[in-house]
Each structure stands twice: as structure tokens, then as C-alpha cells.
Amino acid sequence: MRLLQRGAVLSHGDLNGFWDGVHIGPVLGEVPISLVRDCKRCANVISMDLQGFVRQSDSAGMIFLRPATLEGTLRFVDLLKATSQEVLVQTGASGLASAISRILRHGPRWLVVTLGRKGAILAEKGGRTLRIPAYPETSWSDPTGAGDALVGGWLSTFVATGDSLWAMCIGTAVASLLVRRSGLEKFHWSDVELLRRAVWVREQIGPYA
């Protein structure tokens, strides 16, 4: 992956208002770490994607991963989402179970580790660690944004219901619907199909060993 152009960096002055939920999803350094604490003051629930904090670019624009200094920041985050590679880089752990434990010690209430077509892991601080299956979608067209869709589905559902596991089922279902098409067509689906997929996911959830 190569960086073509950096996005604008957000500032504390951009936080004007109070919201039920806020997602912090930088691509590469657009959100200063210091801004995460201020986001918590502006919202009831905070979700955050690790990717934009661990991504760095070299002089040629090539992207690589490097641990970010987040130990004092993650306690302001309700849900942290990351890929398996990102949590391993961030923690320096040799395995996922150890990496998950290390991340949760630093504060987020929940951690979602995405595993591509294999689904995801949902770990709760002081609670269960579950394997969340991916819905078996056969018509893959464009997976761009699937992780964002998962977190967006989780955040909106958790804000409405307070149920983190059902929120994960909805987020997983949304992600499975998004990959079927490209462009704006990604966002066309029925509520009935969304709920059907979410129920399927819920019925397949098991412990992460």
C-alpha cells in the first residue's frame, strides 16, 4: 500500500457538540492521539479503529505498521477495532490471545479483531472472548469499507440497545451486505435481509479458544 496524499488533521476546535456515539477512524494520522480524550467528553459511546494510529509512511510513501503510544488513551474508548496484524504489531505479542489480553488491560471495554472472511473476535474486558462468524456471502465484489461498516453497525446498534453482542451481529451482517457491490450500490439492502443475516450470525457464535 502506498500513500498518495495525507488527509487534513483534525483539531480540538472541530469538536462542536455532543453526540450519542462517535467513531474515530483515521486512515493515517488524521486524528491526534490527544483528541481521543476530548472525543469522550463529546459523546456517550466511543468506537475507534487502530489502523490510522499504527500506520506510518516512509519517504517513498510506502505504508508500514509501527506501535502507537496509546496506553493512556485506550481507557477513553468503548470499542476498539483492529486487524489481527495490527494488534500483534501494537502489542508485540507472539499470538492473538496474548495480544487481546494486553490491549484490554489498557482500557477499552471491548476489542474487535477482524479476520477477513473468517469473521472476527469480540473480547470484553473482564468478560468473554467470542468468535464471531462471517456471514457466508458468495457474491464478493468489493470488500472496501467492510471493517468500517462493521463498526458503524455496532456503534449505532449499541447506542440504541446497549447490547454489545447483538450490536456485533448487526455490524457483521452490514459488512456482509456491503461487500456484494461497489460504489453507492453498496448501501442498497432490505432491513429484512439485514436482520435475517444478523440472526444467523448470532446462532453461530461460539467461544474463542
pLDDT digits (tens, 9 = 90+) for 60-74: 888 889 999 998 899
Whether the predicted pLDDT of 141 surpasses 70? no
Give 180 or 203, the one with higher predicted confidence: 203
User: Hey, what CATH class is 1-114 in?
Assistant: alpha beta
pLDDT at position 186 is: 61
Whether the predicted pLDDT of 153 surpasses 90? yes
List the grid coordinates of 41: 467528553
Q: How many helices (H) and strands (E) does the chain have?
A: 7, 9
Q: Residue written as cell 460504489?
A: 183
CA distance 183 to 134: 22
pLDDT digits (tens, 9 = 90+) for 173-198: 999 998 776 665 666 678 999 999 99
CA distance 25 to 1: 18
pLDDT at position 57 is: 86
pTM over 0.75: yes
CA distance 27 to 6: 9
Q: Which helix H or strand E contains 105, and what residues bound it?
A: helix 96-105
Mean pLDDT for the stretch of residues 1-7: 75
Whether the predicted pLDDT of 96 surpasses 80? yes
Give the CA count within 13 Å in the CB-facing half-sphere of 55. Answer: 20
Whether the predicted pLDDT of 85 surpasses 80? yes
Amino acid found at 84: S
CA distance 198 to 171: 8
Burial degree of 71 (CB within 10 A; 0-12, 13-18, 19+): exposed
Give the percent of the chain with pLDDT over 90: 64
CA distance 158 to 80: 14
Whether the predicted pLDDT of 132 surpasses 90? yes
Sheet holding 79-83, edge to edge: 19-24, 43-49, 79-83, 110-114, 120-124, 129-132, 206-207
Mean pLDDT for the stretch of residues 131-139: 89
- Mean of pLDDT over the chain: 90
**Span(s) in the chain for CATH 3.40.1190.20:** 1-114
